[in-house]
């Protein structure tokens, strides 16, 4: 493992992977010759990994470069570009199995290296959620200053919670909240709009997890923090308001929830949290409120969605119970 590579910037690796995605085939052939002559030409390998990702017929060739990477650069920042570096277990089971074996070997060699454990967890988590989660959690514990690992874990647990059976969901929401709070503590609040946007998404994720767990005051705390953060940039608040509408319903404050939904048309383009709030109001018998909201969306042209007219027609006939 070449230690001098650990300081390579995340963005440099990403740039090489992205360049590979748009690489002409003739240049990819030249890069293969380059790698054959100089196996340690890491830039060329990254570009080839990016290039082969869009070619299912080249899965084996791509896997060979990834296996070399796991063996020689398991701590590299490139692995944090999971979408570009992963192997789909269902689509390429043999290649995934080989990579898994290589990662297990690296984990046994480097049991105290958070970058190796975290990279292994990122690579494996979509194919083996529990094992990937365990590795990422260990990376969080080993490096208490790195916000990346808890941030990723919070996202993965949140997504997993929404796909689990009901009796499994609570634990994943608990973990999404726990790791989300770790991320927020480590990430800080200084920075520009990009920093603000990343922090706001984490705050909303924590608020939603807390809401599912019936931690209403905590959900409101994170929603209000998200609203204040967005407003500090002179941006109209968005998802935080919808969360407050949902918490209002939990408190039995139906008029507050109605007002949040109806006023949202004056604030922002609708999103999934608005649909969740609308569905909750339908469940509370407030079909007329949701119908008014959807008609306002239609009049303002906020949703270019063919479902909108269908929803309005169905609700008008009391034939719709869920907006989806």
Confidence of residue 10 (pLDDT cuts 50, 70, 90): low
What pTM, to 2 d.p., does this model score? 0.88
Closest CA to 224 of 237, 233, 234, 236: 237
Residue 307 lies in a domain: yes
Q: For residue 310, what pLDDT is reported? A: 86
* Mean pLDDT, residues 228-250 taken together: 90
pLDDT at residue 176 is higher than 60: yes
DSSP of 52-94, one letter per residue? HTT-GGGHHHHHHHHHHHHHH-TT-GGGG-HHHH---TTT-HH
Distances (CA, A) of 2 to 30, 40, 240: 25, 10, 45
When divided into structural domains, the chain yields a total of 1
Q: How far apart are CA 68 and CA 170, in angstroms?
A: 39
Residue 131 lies in a domain: no
Residue 227 lies in a domain: no
Residue 30 lies in a domain: no
Question: Could you tell me the end-to-end alpha-carbon distance of the chain, in angstroms, rounded to an integer?
Answer: 49
* Mean pLDDT, residues 5-19 taken together: 73
Token pair for residue 256?
A: 């507050």
Residue 205 lies in a domain: no
Residue 247 lies in a domain: no
Give residues with Cβ within 8 angstroms of 313, minimum separation 6.
Answer: none
Pairwise pLDDT comparison (187 vs 166), residue with the higher score: 187
Q: How far apart are CA 216 and CA 172, in angstroms?
A: 18
Confidence of residue 305 (pLDDT cuts 50, 70, 90): low
Angular region, 19: left φ>0, alpha ψ -120 to 50, beta rest: alpha
Closest CA to 293 of 240, 234, 245, 229: 245
Q: Is 135 within 8 Å of 149 (Cβ atoms)? A: no
Q: What is the pLDDT of residues 195-211, one digit of tens each?
A: 899 999 999 999 999 99
Residue 274 lies in a domain: yes
Residue 40 lies in a domain: no
Q: What is the pLDDT of residues 250-297, one digit of tens each?
A: 999 999 999 999 988 666 667 788 889 999 999 999 999 999 999 888
Domain that holds residue 296: 253-324
Closest CA to 81 of 49, 103, 109: 49
Q: What is the pLDDT of residues 34-58, one digit of tens each?
A: 999 999 999 999 999 999 998 989 9
């Amino acid at each position: 493992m070449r230690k001098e590579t650990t300081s390579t910037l995340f963005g440099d690796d990403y740039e090489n992977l992205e360049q590979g995605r748009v690489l002409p085939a003739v240049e990819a052939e030249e890069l293969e010759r380059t790698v054959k002559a100089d196996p340690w030409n890491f830039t060329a390998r990254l570009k080839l990994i990016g290039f082969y990702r869009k070619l299912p017929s080249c899965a084996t060739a791509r896997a060979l470069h990834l296996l070399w990477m796991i063996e020689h650069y398991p701590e590299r920042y490139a692995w944090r570009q999971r979408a570009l570096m992963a192997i789909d277990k269902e689509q390429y089971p043999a290649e995934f199995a080989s990579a898994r074996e290589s990662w297990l070997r690296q984990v046994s060699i480097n049991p105290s290296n958070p970058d190796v454990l975290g990279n292994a967890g990122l690579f494996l988590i979509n194919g083996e959620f529990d094992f990937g989660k365990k590795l990422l959690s260990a990376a969080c514990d080993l490096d208490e200053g790195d916000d990346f690992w808890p941030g990723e874990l919070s996202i993965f647990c949140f997504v997993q919670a929404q796909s689990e059976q009901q009796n499994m969901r609570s634990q994943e929401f608990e973990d999404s909240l726990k790791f989300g709070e770790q991320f927020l503590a480590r990430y800080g609040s200084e920075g520009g709009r990009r920093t603000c946007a990343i922090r706001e998404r984490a705050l909303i994720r924590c608020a939603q997890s807390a809401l599912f767990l019936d931690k209403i005051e905590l959900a409101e705390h994170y929603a209000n923090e998200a609203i204040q953060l967005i407003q500090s940039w002179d941006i109209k608040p968005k998802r935080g308001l919808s969360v407050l509408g949902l918490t209002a319903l939990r408190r039995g404050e139906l008029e507050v929830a109605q007002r949040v939904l109806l006023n949202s048309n004056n604030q922002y383009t609708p999103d999934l949290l608005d649909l969740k709030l609308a569905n909750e109001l339908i469940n509370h018998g407030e079909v007329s409120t949701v119908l008014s909201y959807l008609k306002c969306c239609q009049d303002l042209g906020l949703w270019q969605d063919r479902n909108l007219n269908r929803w309005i027609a169905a609700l008008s006939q009391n034939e719709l119970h869920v907006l989806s």
